[in-house]
Chain A
Amino acid sequence: MFNIMSITLKGIFRDRVFHGILVVAFILPLIPVISTLSMRQVTELSITLSLSLISFILLLLAVFLGGTALWKDIERRYTYSVLSLPITRSSYLLGRFFGNALFMLITATLLGCVAAVVVWLVASGSPPDRQVVWMNFFLAVFFDAMKYILLVAVAVLFSTVSSSFFLPIFGTISAFLVGSSSQQVYDYVNSQPAQTLSLLTRKTASSLYYVLPNFSAFDLKVNAIYGLPLSLKGLFLTVVYGLVYGGIVLALSSVIFAKKEMK
């Protein structure tokens, strides 16, 4: 598995998609310039912009690297040469996943540090009303990375189901969109005005809520921007949720992939 992980990382660093996405990261240093265009809440704006940019870059990486990892191997017939080695299907799959996950973590760390420097520069240029809570800032980046690693797991699951590139890419994007709003839908369904909806609709919506990933808990942007206090218990539950959900998705992927025919 570690062998697969290390060649996965090598592959990403030499991938053109990665180089393309890297270019996007060069927007980060421009943030101070953009932020100062706004007269008020310059620091808050710079935090918002940098967190959003990091989020966007990680989303691209999750979709295009996570979503295409297996598909590319099958399409280019690498699976014949790799899966015929004495490794199990699941160690190949997990090696691929953890290679991608580790890469996302590294990227998030690097981008997070660069963004911190940027925000610090802005904050020292025009001191904000509230102090920047750095802890929240870094936690926001970390949880964002966790969210997208979870999305990579979902992308891997889609790749094991279908061997085209259509489902992994678009499935992952849809999972992201739905996953980001499922909490709102769930809250609405269980609210007073929604009781007029049919029971079936409400039941379907609630069961979808449990099946689909729920990404909103991972979003700590607001806490980072306004320095709002974080609940330790909430964070802990989110981590547990991420681990359990990711574990289930990967286990399912392993089972499907073990049965897949490399014809």
Chain B
Amino acid sequence: MNAIEITNLSKTYKGKKFSTVEALKNLNLTVGQGEIFGFLGPNGAGKSTTIKALVGLIAPTAGSATVMGVDISSHEARRHVGYLPENPAFYDYLTAEEYLAFVGKVFHLPESLLREQSERVLKLLELWEARKRPIRGYSKGMVQRVGLAQVLIHDPDVYILDEPMSGLDPVGRALVKDIMLELKARGKCVFFSTHITADVETVCDRVGIILKGELKSVEHVDKIMTEGVLGYNLRIRTRNQPELVERYVAKEDLEMVMQKLFTAGDEISLIEPSRKSLEDFFLDIVKGKIC
């Protein structure tokens, strides 16, 4: 069973005076269990719209989707989901500990497990010291951490995170990446939106690029990285020259050049692939060079 299956999902927002915004057009996508999927797109591309439809906050205009096989129109679909909203806000008169207890009870966690899990995630996200203070007094990054804590506390199968790294310091970002990899290792599905390509490069198995409500590309990150290799920078020490020489070799010429150097008896001290980064790939799509 796929963790998330989206079929022909469309969403049109109705504004005032008959104006409409086609935020999402015919989206088809499946994400498997044990997969980290990055949903990449510029501002206003329709990432949050897709995610809000998945968690039942907005009703799709057309199409359907399932989470762990349950149709999203049922609240039962959300029993498998941990959702982090973008710029989250939580009942600010509650403390982090109380809020987690509330979420745990909604998910029917038994009391002892709840206490155990609460302590684990609060410590993991470095909220342990602040757990008895109302959320009202938290900083932006701390609220974001509460958001991650309430996602992790009930150990769901599917994680739907809208810009999970936003508002976090570098340590926090690294922590989130570690958490994602650990979830993947336990066979969980992580679906997250972002506009930062570097985040996708380091953790994702696949990336989907969405632009103006249309899904433009879905690729394995590995594949983009290998296909993105354009050539190599070689550092060579020739026999008759003491200094190192740098030389750029196009991808298809590499074998030939290596052969030549070898027969000449030159020494290669470094081979460095020069590649188009995911960022270049993303920008190419956004500028319409691909597709």
Chain A interface (Cβ < 8 Å from any Cβ of B) = 3, 7, 10-11, 14-15, 76-88, 259, 261-263
**Chain B residue at minimal CB-CB distance from A80:** B85
Tell me the B73-112 residues at the A interface (CB within 8 Å): 75-79, 81, 83, 85, 87-94, 98, 102-103, 105-107
User: Can you report 8 A-B residue pairs in the complex whose CB atoms are below 8 A from each other?
Assistant: A10-B94, A78-B91, A81-B90, A82-B91, A84-B81, A84-B83, A86-B77, A259-B59
A15 in contact with B93 given A3-B102, A81-B88, A263-B13 (CB within 8 Å): yes
Contact A11 B106 (CB under 8 A): no
A14 and B52 CA atoms in complex are apart in Å by 30
Total inter-chain residue pairs, C-beta < 8 Å: 72
A4 to chain B, nearest CB (A): 9
B69 at the interface (CB under 8 A from A): no
Contact B85 A83 (CB under 8 A): no
Contact B93 A3 (CB under 8 A): no
A5 to chain B, nearest CB (A): 11
A10 and B135 CA atoms in complex are apart in Å by 14
A11 and B91 CA atoms in complex are apart in Å by 8
A38 and B56 CA atoms in complex are apart in Å by 62
Contacts of B58 in A (CB 8 A): 261-263
Contacts of A87 in B (CB 8 A): 75, 106
B55 at the interface (CB under 8 A from A): yes
A96 and B59 CA atoms in complex are apart in Å by 23
**Chain B residue at minimal CB-CB distance from A16:** B93
Contact A262 B75 (CB under 8 A): no
B164 to chain A, nearest CB (A): 14
A100 to chain B, nearest CB (A): 15
Q: Identify A84's interface contact among B56, B87, B98, CB under 8 A.
A: B56
**Chain B residue at minimal CB-CB distance from A259:** B59
Contact A86 B78 (CB under 8 A): yes
**Chain B residue at minimal CB-CB distance from A13:** B93
B140 to chain A, nearest CB (A): 13
A7 in contact with B79 given A80-B85, A84-B55 (CB within 8 Å): no
